[in-house]
Structure 1
Amino acid sequence: MTLTELRYIVAVARERHFGRAAEACGVSQPTLSVAIKKLEEELDVKLFERGGNEVSVTPLGEAIVRQAQTVIEQASAIHDIARSGKDPLAGPLRLGIIYTIGPYLLPELVRRCIDMHPQMPLMLQENFTVKLLEMLRTGEIDCAILAEPFPDTGLAVAKLYDEPFVIAMPAQHPLAKRESISAEELKRETMLLLGNGHCFRDQVLEVCPEFARFSADADGLRRSFEGSSLETIKHMVAAGLGITVLPQLTVPRDGQGGSASHLRFVPFSDPIPTRRVVLVWRRSFTRYEAIAALRNAVYACKLEGVTRLS
């Protein structure tokens, strides 16, 4: 067997499709299929079930794919070790980041990395937490910036910062001039939420659980609207369609949002809800200096309103 064949079976297991796997590997589908068939014949096992439009991995295939991924990582580590003898930070670092952090941290983080470590370019991937964890497992990315909690996957974890939540509302809202607002006071408001799949949606619903479902009271029907991004929701709030809860770093640094003064951001009263943002990576990843450099670059960012963690 060859490393190329192992990369092919890992790609098919990830994509669940021979055509997409071949495209990801930069080869034709017949080339990939022949190589996998050859490997199956060599091992005398069936790795994949071919049926319909989707490919599934056999139980024995799952174990072989996991081992193949380990072998690929170890082979890559040989190159990393050789490279680190010259410069521990040389070469790109593949970083994943969730949607509710990326737009607000990456612009400054990328600039900091370029200034501090120009020999270590960041290759970026934005996605949901579940997808990034899968990409870490399969070696598609080296590390990820996530918000806790997430499933325990045996990853190494370094704390970055605790980020408080704030309430965003139209500038003319009756609560807009308040110094702070309690979660209890939000129960009678129309709350705009992110859609399913975003971990921040779940964190907001922990603060305001009554918005997890449609409900009725004496004032009529209260509804939760779902948006695809925090920026979309902020525009909806500015248009007077409701209020929302946001992470601190989404608040513009001049305290205003949208155009002119359409939004107001008001802190929560104690206890203030927060989320913990962390850097995670596979324990088998050998470029410890690159992880440390990335963490230091995060700490070099302004991160206004958050609590840095060491």
Structure 2
Amino acid sequence: MTLTELRYLVAVARELHFGRAAEACHVSQPTLSVAIKKLEEELDVKLFERGGNEVSVTPLGQEIVRQAQTVLEQANAIKDIAKRGRDPLAGPLRLGVIYTIGPYLLPRLVRQVIERTPQMPLLLQENFTHKLLEMLRTGELDCAILAEPFPDTGLAIAPLYDEPFRIAVPAAHRLAAKTELSAEALKQETMLLLGNGHCFRDHVLEVCPESARFASGAEGIQKSFEGSSLETIKHMVASGMGITVLPALSVPQPPEQHPHLRFLDFTAPVPSRRVVLAWRRSFTRYEAIAALRNAVVACELTGVRPLNVG
């Protein structure tokens, strides 16, 4: 067997679809299918159950996939060790970022990394938290910027900053003249939320649990609409469809540049989220992680509280 075949194996197990796995591996589907068949013949086991468009991993196949992931990670570690001997920062760093952080942090972060460590380009992946955690586990990503909490997966964690939440209302809204509001004051408002899968949706529901009730007769928020991104939701708020809660970095600077929105602070205690950098404990490029953390600190992010970089 070859490392390439093991990569194909892991891709099919992740996608549960031969076509998507082939696309992710940048090969044709016949090439990938032949490699998987060859691997099954060599091992004399059935790795996948195939039925029409449905693909599932056999119980024995799941054990083999886990071992293949370990082998691939160890093979990458050999390359990393060799690179560290020449230049610990040499080579790309595969970074994942959740959707509600990427658009607001990455433009500044990429500039900092280019200036500080041009030999370490960032290969970026935006996705949901659960997907990024899976990609970390399988070695497809080296590290990820996430918002706590998330499932304990045995990853190494370094705090980056605490990010308070703010309230966005239409400029013509009756609350627009306020400078701050309590979470209690939002109960009678129509709340606009991100769709399922976004961890920030869960953060907002913690602040405004009434928005999870959805029953028309429920006390508190009577309606709840969903958007695909924070930018979409801001446009929905600007059009008068309701109000929303945003992380501080998504608020334009200066806020007045958005003429159709007003941004209000929460009264104490101000809800917030902790943003962290996560990576596998077996990842060997410690200097690259430190350089990335330092680059985040150097971004001088407005409205957040940087945390100590030790």
| Coarse TM-score class (shorter-chain normalised) | over 0.9
User: Residues 78-112 of structure 1, C-alpha deviation per residue, up to 9 Å, x if partnerless?
Assistant: 11111111110000111111110001000000000
User: SS at 1:115's partner residue?
Assistant: helix
Shift of 1:221: 8.0
Distance in 2 (alpha carbons) for counterparts of 1:210 and 1:283: 39
Distance in 2 (alpha carbons) for counterparts of 1:30 and 1:238: 49
Correspondent of 1:305 among 290, 303, 306? 303
User: Residues 101-141 of structure 1, C-alpha deviation per residue, up to 9 Å, x if partnerless?
Assistant: 00100000000000000000001111111111111112211
Distance in 2 (alpha carbons) for counterparts of 1:21 and 1:81: 29
Shift of 1:220: 10
Q: 1:124 to 1:220 in 2, by over 3 A?
A: closer
Distance in 2 (alpha carbons) for counterparts of 1:27 and 1:240: 47
Partner residue of 2:65?
65
User: Residues 161-187 of structure 1, C-alpha deviation per residue, up to 9 Å, x if partnerless?
Assistant: 110000111122222222311000100
Unpaired segments of 5 or more residues in structure 1?
A: none
Contact 1:14 1:138 in 2 (8 A): no
Partner residue of 2:160?
160
Identity of aligned residues (%): 78
Contact 2:188 2:221 in 1 (8 A): no
1:293 is matched by which residue type in structure 2?
A
Q: 1:71 to 1:223 in 2, by over 3 A?
A: same
User: SS at 1:232's partner residue?
Assistant: helix
Contact 1:257 1:263 in 2 (8 A): no
TM-score scaled to structure 2, two decimals?
0.95
Shift of 1:47: 1.0
Q: Please tell me the root mean square deviation across aligned C-alpha atoms, in Å.
A: 1.7
Partner residue of 1:295?
293
2:211 is matched by which residue type in structure 1?
F
Q: Are 1:151 and 2:151 an aligned pair? A: yes
1:160 is matched by which residue type in structure 2?
L
Q: 1:32 to 1:216 in 2, by over 3 A?
A: closer
User: Residues 26-57 of structure 1, C-alpha deviation per residue, up to 9 Å, x if partnerless?
Assistant: 33333322322222222222111111212111
Q: Are 1:34 and 2:34 an aligned pair? A: yes
1:304 is matched by which residue type in structure 2?
T
User: SS at 2:169's partner residue?
Assistant: strand
Distance in 2 (alpha carbons) for counterparts of 1:33 and 1:272: 53
User: SS at 1:151's partner residue?
Assistant: coil
Distance in 1 (alpha carbons) for counterparts of 2:200 and 2:61: 35
User: SS at 1:150's partner residue?
Assistant: coil
Contact 2:188 2:220 in 1 (8 A): no
Shift of 1:18: 1.9
Contact 1:164 1:306 in 2 (8 A): yes
Distance in 1 (alpha carbons) for counterparts of 2:92 and 2:220: 55
Count of residue correspondences:
308
Contact 2:11 2:25 in 1 (8 A): yes
Contact 1:251 1:257 in 2 (8 A): no
User: SS at 1:161's partner residue?
Assistant: strand
Question: Please, which moves more after superposition, 21-30 or 78-87?
Answer: 21-30
Partner residue of 2:227?
227
Q: 1:33 to 1:215 in 2, by over 3 A?
A: closer
Shift of 1:20: 2.4
1:118 is matched by which residue type in structure 2?
P
Partner residue of 1:169?
169
Distance in 1 (alpha carbons) for counterparts of 2:116 and 2:218: 58
Distance in 1 (alpha carbons) for counterparts of 2:144 and 2:226: 26
Partner residue of 2:92?
92
Distance in 1 (alpha carbons) for counterparts of 2:34 and 2:221: 59
Distance in 2 (alpha carbons) for counterparts of 1:220 and 1:156: 40
Shift of 1:216: 4.4
Shift of 1:213: 2.4
TM-score scaled to structure 1, two decimals?
0.95
Distance in 2 (alpha carbons) for counterparts of 1:190 and 1:25: 44
Q: Are 1:211 and 2:211 an aligned pair? A: yes
Partner residue of 1:188?
188
1:281 is matched by which residue type in structure 2?
W
Q: 1:255 to 1:221 in 2, by over 3 A?
A: closer
Distance in 2 (alpha carbons) for counterparts of 1:214 and 1:29: 44
Contact 1:164 1:274 in 2 (8 A): yes
Shift of 1:227: 0.7
Question: Please, which moves more after superposition, 29-38 or 238-247?
Answer: 29-38
Partner residue of 2:11?
11
User: SS at 2:6's partner residue?
Assistant: helix
User: Residues 180-231 of structure 1, C-alpha deviation per residue, up to 9 Å, x if partnerless?
Assistant: 1100010011111111111101100000000112244699982111111111
User: Residues 212-259 of structure 1, C-alpha deviation per residue, up to 9 Å, x if partnerless?
Assistant: 12244699982111111111111111112111100011111112253x
Contact 1:213 1:224 in 2 (8 A): no
1:246 is matched by which residue type in structure 2?
L
User: SS at 1:165's partner residue?
Assistant: strand
Partner residue of 2:46?
46
Contact 2:11 2:24 in 1 (8 A): yes
Partner residue of 1:55?
55
